[in-house]
C-alpha cells in the first residue's frame, strides 16, 4: 500500500498562488511577484518558478506580459457563478454530531471508455482515476459516490492512498478550482445501489452530479447518491441577490 507523498515544491508554490487569487487577496490586475522574487522566497530555481507561472497562465488564472511581469487575470464575462457550495461530507457529518466513516469500494487507473460521455468530457481518450465509495454516518450508509478524476490536471492523485482518505475530502483540501457545475435530480435506487445503501430497491434518492474545473482543465466529475430522507438541499439568498 502506498503512503501519501509530501507535496512537491512546484505544487506548494502553485497552491499558495492559487489560494491568494481565489481568496481575493490578490485581485484581478494585481501584479504577482517577479520570478526572481519568487525564487528568493521559495529558494528554488527559475525553471521551477517559470513552470508554475506557465501552468497558471495556461489555466487562465494569470496573464504574463513581456517585460511587465505576471498579473492576476480578469474573469471572462461568461464565467459562471457557483450557486452552491461544495461540501465535505466528512466535515458535514461530524458537524451534526455523528460519527463519519468511509469505504473505498473500487479503484481503477484506466483509459476512458469512449461510450461514456462523462469520461470522454473529462479526459478525452486519456487515462483517468475511477472510484466508487460509500459514506457512512454512525455506521449506517449515507451516500454512494462514483467519482472520476483527471490525473493530467491533478497528477498528485496518483500517489494518494484513497483507501484511507475520501477523494472528495482530499480534493477540497489540496486542489484549487475556479468553476463548478451542479446538476440535481431524484431517482429510484437500482437493486445493486439499494443493496449498498441497505434499503429496498426503488427507494427514493437525491442525486448530485458535479463537475469542477481549474481554468479550462477539468478536475473531477462525481455523482453522489444520498438517501432521500437523509439530505436537505438549502439555498440562502436575500432580496436583490443575483
* Mean pLDDT score across all residues of the chain: 85
Domain-by-domain residue ranges, the chain?
9-72, 89-230
Q: CB of 213 within 8 A of CB of 178?
A: yes
Report, as an integer, the average pLDDT of 80-92.
Answer: 67
Segment 36-65 mean pLDDT: 89
What pLDDT sits at residue 194?
94
pLDDT exceeds 60 at position 114: yes
Question: Nearest Cα to 174, choosing from 44, 4, 42?
Answer: 4
Please tell me the class of the 89-230 domain: alpha beta
Q: Which has the minimum average pLDDT: 27-36, 77-86, 99-108, 176-185?
A: 77-86
| Residues 37, 34: Cα–Cα separation, whole Å | 5
Domain 9-72 is in which class? mainly alpha
Query: Is residue 222's pLDDT more than 90?
Result: yes
Q: What average pLDDT does range 49-68 have in this prediction?
A: 86
Average pLDDT over every residue of 178-186: 86
CB 107 within 8 A of CB 151: no
Q: Is it the case that residue 118 has pLDDT exceeding 50?
A: yes
Q: How far is Cα 225 from Cα 209, in angstroms, rounded to an integer?
A: 9
**Residue 164: CB partners within 8 Å, gap ≥ 6?**
none
Contacts 24+ apart (CB under 8 A), 56-61: 56/14, 56/17, 56/18, 58/215, 59/178, 59/214, 59/215, 59/216, 59/217, 60/178, 60/215, 60/216, 61/18, 61/21, 61/178, 61/214, 61/215
Whole-prediction pTM value?
A: 0.67
- Residue 95 clears pLDDT 50, i.e. is over it: yes
Out of 9-18, 64-73, 201-210, 224-233, least confident range: 224-233
How high is the pLDDT of residue 227? 84
> Cell triple for residue 35?
520570478
Amino acid at each position: 500500500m502506498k503512503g501519501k507523498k509530501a507535496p512537491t515544491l512546484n505544487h506548494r508554490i502553485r497552491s499558495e498562488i492559487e489560494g491568494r487569487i481565489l481568496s481575493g487577496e490578490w485581485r484581478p490586475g494585481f501584479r504577482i511577484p517577479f520570478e526572481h522574487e519568487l525564487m528568493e522566497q521559495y529558494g528554488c530555481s527559475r525553471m521551477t518558478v517559470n513552470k508554475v507561472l506557465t501552468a497558471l497562465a495556461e489555466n487562465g488564472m494569470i496573464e504574463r506580459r513581456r517585460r511587465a511581469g505576471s498579473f492576476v487575470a480578469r474573469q471572462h464575462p461568461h464565467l459562471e457563478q457557483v450557486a452552491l457550495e461544495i461540501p465535505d461530507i466528512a466535515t458535514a457529518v461530524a458537524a451534526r454530531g455523528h460519527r463519519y466513516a468511509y469505504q473505498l469500494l473500487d479503484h481503477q487507473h484506466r483509459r476512458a471508455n469512449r461510450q461514456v460521455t462523462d469520461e470522454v468530457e473529462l479526459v478525452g481518450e486519456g487515462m483517468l482515476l475511477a472510484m466508487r465509495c460509500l459514506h457512512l454516518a454512525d455506521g449506517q450508509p449515507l451516500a454512494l459516490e462514483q467519482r472520476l478524476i483527471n490525473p493530467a490536471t491533478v497528477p498528485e492523485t496518483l500517489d494518494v492512498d484513497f483507501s484511507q482518505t475520501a477523494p472528495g475530502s482530499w480534493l477540497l483540501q489540496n486542489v484549487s478550482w475556479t468553476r463548478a457545475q451542479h446538476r440535481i435530480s431524484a431517482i429510484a435506487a437500482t437493486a445493486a445501489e439499494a443493496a449498498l445503501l441497505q434499503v429496498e430497491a426503488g427507494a427514493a434518492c437525491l442525486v448530485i452530479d458535479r463537475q469542477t474545473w481549474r481554468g479550462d482543465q477539468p478536475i473531477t466529475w462525481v455523482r453522489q447518491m444520498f438517501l432521500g430522507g437523509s439530505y436537505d438541499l438549502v439555498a440562502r439568498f436575500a432580496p436583490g441577490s443575483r
